[in-house]
Structure 1
């Protein structure tokens, strides 16, 4: 009996601490994001120390937009190409999904966490992708402001 009560308490604590993502939180995603790590279903993770590309999100008020890969440059700017993934944000029973479409594929990811500095998606293979807000690189030390 004691084990059942303890289990229910822990379960209630876990559910109450889970972030509820609201429509207005989606605007926090706009901008540049750098992947920090991927957590696999078995709990193992892969850390990313250096990233050659960042993800740039632009989601409008109609909850649609795009994601594209950009490459940071040493002067703080980004190289961008025309390839992008169209995305539509979908709210279903307290969960938030990003539905992606390209010429080659369609897939969905669940948005687990969103804040000004952190972003976590989970895909259908139960892999969690942890991002941090990207900051410009400027190793030139010339005192010029980065873009």
Structure 2
């Protein structure tokens, strides 16, 4: 069964409509970006989605003022995180009352528009058309009061 060539176009226009109707985060909401986020779902421009039931890595956002970084970390069962020194530089940008995160990789630059940001949810639209949905990460620990 073939999908319609218009499905991707309809998906794009739908995202554009939703993002234009949703006022998005304001300057007060940026405080919620700080911390650990777990990817929940990725929506592709053709309308398909990939849902993540469990993740071995999570995203850590750290910023101060207009700049910071994002890095992948691995939570451990004792409530700690395994990490490397690799951090992706990040810049917080405001254009037309819309929040963007600008990233600089080793050989590329891109932006993600923040469509939703509150204490529990983060949704970004990558400049390549991918829609990322994150949930605030809740650490799991096997530690007990007797440890």
Q: Shorter-chain TM-score category?
A: 0.7 to 0.9
Structure 1 residue matching 2:89: 3-state secondary structure? strand
TM-score, with structure 1 as normaliser: 0.81
TM-score, with structure 2 as normaliser: 0.81
Structure 2 residue matching 1:70: 3-state secondary structure? strand
1:65 is matched with which residue? Answer: 68
Label 1:45 to 1:144 Cα distance change in 2 as closer, same or farther (>3 A). Answer: farther
Residue 122 of structure 1: CA displacement?
Answer: 0.5
1:103 is matched with which residue? Answer: 106
Q: Provide Cα deviations, 1:124-143, integer angstroms capped at 9, x if missing partner.
A: 221100000001111x2524
Gaps of 5+ in 1: 1-13
How many pairs does the alignment contain?
131
1:29 is matched with which residue? Answer: 33
1:39 is matched with which residue? Answer: 43
Q: Out of 7, 22, 29, which is 1:18 matched to? A: 22
How far, CA to CA, are the matches of 2:47 and 2:67 in structure 1? 32
Query: Where has structure 1 moved over 3 Å in runs of 4 or more?
Result: 14-17
Label 1:120 to 1:142 Cα distance change in 2 as closer, same or farther (>3 A). Answer: same
Gaps of 5+ in 2: 1-17
Does residue 136 of the first structure (1) align with residue 136 of the second (2)?
no
How far, CA to CA, are the matches of 1:98 and 1:116 in structure 2? 17
